[in-house]
Amino acid sequence: MTPTPPPSADAVLAALRDLQAGDLPTHGGRTLAYVYDSGLAEADALGREALAMFASSNGLDPTAFPSLQRMENDLVADAGRLLDAPEGFTGAVTSGGTESILLAVLAARRGAPHVTDPSMVLPSSAHAAFLKAAEYLGVRPVVVDVDPGTLRADPVATAAAVDDSTVLVVVSAPSYAHGVVDPVAEVAALAAERGIRCHVDACIGGWVLPHLDDGPPWTFAVPGVTSISVDLHKYAYTPKGVSLLLHRDASLRRGHLFAEAGWPGYTMLNSTMQSTKSGGPLAAAWAVTRFIGADGYARLARTARDATLELASAATELDGLHVVAAPDSTLLALATDGSCDVFTIADEMLARGWFVQPQMAFGDLPATLHLTLSAATAPSVPEFVTALREAVEAARAAGPIAVDPALAGMLTSLDPATLDDAGFAGVLAAAGLAGDGGGIALPDRMAPVNALLDACPPRLREALLVGVLDRLSRPTPGPGPGD
């Protein structure tokens, strides 16, 4: 038998395109979470070219690839100008918002070596990446409820939560879930008074808010702000894999600079978590930010902001729907009045070619739909509103989704701490989600699954979703490409 020759490059590319056809579209402005589209085709093409040019360059050693250190320093300088950083500030390019946040928490913890049981105080609206950092790095999270009226961090409750173990206080500009900016000045002041660091998570707003001249200050112009994270792979519209972490001064960064000479290989020297680090995303960010420029970003920010306000007022007009908080940036959270449910609306929107992201109920807050507006969505807001009107009407006609009481009863009787593989298989079977070969079969309409998850307490929901991820992430069965 003659072995099959490997496929041609064209055939491999065609196969990649086939795979990609099942994904959400990254461009066109119809995906309102996960992706960011400037609508500038030339900027995108430039980003891709820079990405390819530096894809194999390695940020492991800045002396071997000085171009990468230079591009990093340029981007940190750009961000410093945007975020009112004072003389002496420093920063680093990371792989994403989560890495920036992990490093901010790490630097705070290592910067307070005398604290034996370190904790950080964060509003309940802070991004889950802080809880991940807490778990990874052994920093106890002290979560403070946001003000129920404004959904912003509560400075009085924050002050009460701070104690001798606090190494970091966190605020957002804005929060991902509700799109509101915390009272940064108040919180930073109370942190500074006690000699505690204050991190502003501007991962999603950092490249937008400085270009809109409204709202209270939240940058390094605010005394007491010690570090800020801002993702370039969000509103700088650069390819995925780039975020920035800025520190008010070099001493604050020391905790995440790492050197290791105690092994026989090269002396490891890193400013971030990655060691080998592709130069591609960094070069792409450098190229795209230069090409779009300050005026370009100001225009894009204004466009996305106007679209957000237009969409917010149109959504408010729809029967059954409301905006949970007046948006401070370019994010919206929508909730229903109980005449229908957000999960059905999300399915109806997807059927009409729009992706909106369901967010589960949390504490006293109802489930919501999250919308991140890119500049590229702006021209289609009227079309979006038409689809949303139809989706809400369809959801109202169907009525709020009912969770099967027997199934809900079975789920809530589960103990997340002891849910094992067999138990999870039972859940899948009972929910009608069991697929071939012990796998999982996700339905086209996710509302019944989402409603079920929404009815579960957070710890149980986590255990169930870990089960889902475990089933999804299994080696592809069958022969491989070389067989």
**Residue 203 lies near ligand PLP (rule: CB under 6 A):** yes
Considering the complex, state which of residue 85 and residue 181 has its C-beta at the smaller distance from ligand PLP.
181
Nearest distance, CB of residue 67 and ligand PLP, angstroms: 24
Residue 80, φ and ψ in degrees, nearest 5: -60, -40
Residues 168-184 as b or e (16 or more Cβ within 10 Å = b): bbbbbbbbbbbbbbbbb
Considering the complex, state which of residue 204 and residue 222 has its C-beta at the smaller distance from ligand PLP.
204
Q: Report how far apart, in Å, the C-alpha atoms of 101 and of each of 217, 350, 366, 470 are.
A: 21, 32, 27, 26
Nearest distance, CB of residue 475 and ligand PLP, angstroms: 26
Alpha helices in 83-150 (DSSP H): 97-110, 128-137
Q: Report how far apart, in Å, the C-alpha atoms of 415 and of each of 29, 316, 406, 420, 462 are.
A: 41, 40, 17, 10, 12
**Residue 248 lies near ligand PLP (rule: CB under 6 A):** no
Considering the complex, state which of residue 101 and residue 169 has its C-beta at the smaller distance from ligand PLP.
101
**Residue 201 lies near ligand PLP (rule: CB under 6 A):** yes
Number of residues that bind ligand PLP (CB under 6 A): 13
Residues 51-90 as b or e (16 or more Cβ within 10 Å = b): beebeebebbbeeebeebbebbebbbebbbebbbbeeebb
Q: Is the peptide bond before 174 cis (omega within 30 degrees of 0)?
A: yes
Do 164 and 115 meet the contact criterion of CB atoms below 8 Å apart?
yes
Considering the complex, state which of residue 178 and residue 471 has its C-beta at the smaller distance from ligand PLP.
178
Query: What distance in Å separates the CA atoms of residue 384 and residue 380, rounded to the nearest whole number?
Result: 6
Per CB under 6 A, the list member of 90, 172, 270, 272 interacting with ligand PLP is: 172
Per CB under 6 A, the list member of 37, 231, 348, 454 interacting with ligand PLP is: 231
Considering the complex, state which of residue 65 and residue 355 has its C-beta at the smaller distance from ligand PLP.
355
Considering the complex, state which of residue 203 and residue 321 has its C-beta at the smaller distance from ligand PLP.
203
**Residue 329 lies near ligand PLP (rule: CB under 6 A):** no
Residue 339, φ and ψ in degrees, nearest 5: -75, -10
- Which residue stretch of 152-160, 198-206, 401-409, 432-440 sits at the interface with ligand PLP (rule: CB under 6 A)? 198-206
Q: What tokens does 12 get?
A: 């491999």
Do 19 and 341 meet the contact criterion of CB atoms below 8 Å apart?
no
Nearest distance, CB of residue 16 and ligand PLP, angstroms: 24
Residues 53-112 that bind ligand PLP (CB under 6 A): 96-98, 101
Is 11 exposed, middle or buried, given 0-12, 13-18 or 19+ CB atoms closer than 10 A? Answer: exposed
DSSP states of 433-446:
-B-GGG-B---S--
**Residue 219 lies near ligand PLP (rule: CB under 6 A):** no
Considering the complex, state which of residue 47 and residue 448 has its C-beta at the smaller distance from ligand PLP.
47
The length of the chain, given as a count of residues = 483
- Which residue stretch of 64-72, 116-124, 200-208, 315-323 sits at the interface with ligand PLP (rule: CB under 6 A)? 200-208
Per CB under 6 A, the list member of 127, 178, 256, 370 interacting with ligand PLP is: 127
Per CB under 6 A, the list member of 51, 102, 122, 129 interacting with ligand PLP is: 129
* Nearest residue to ligand PLP, by Cβ distance, number only: 97
Question: Which stretches of the chain bind ligand PLP, using CB under 6 A?
Answer: 96-98, 101, 127, 129, 172, 176, 201, 203-204, 231, 243
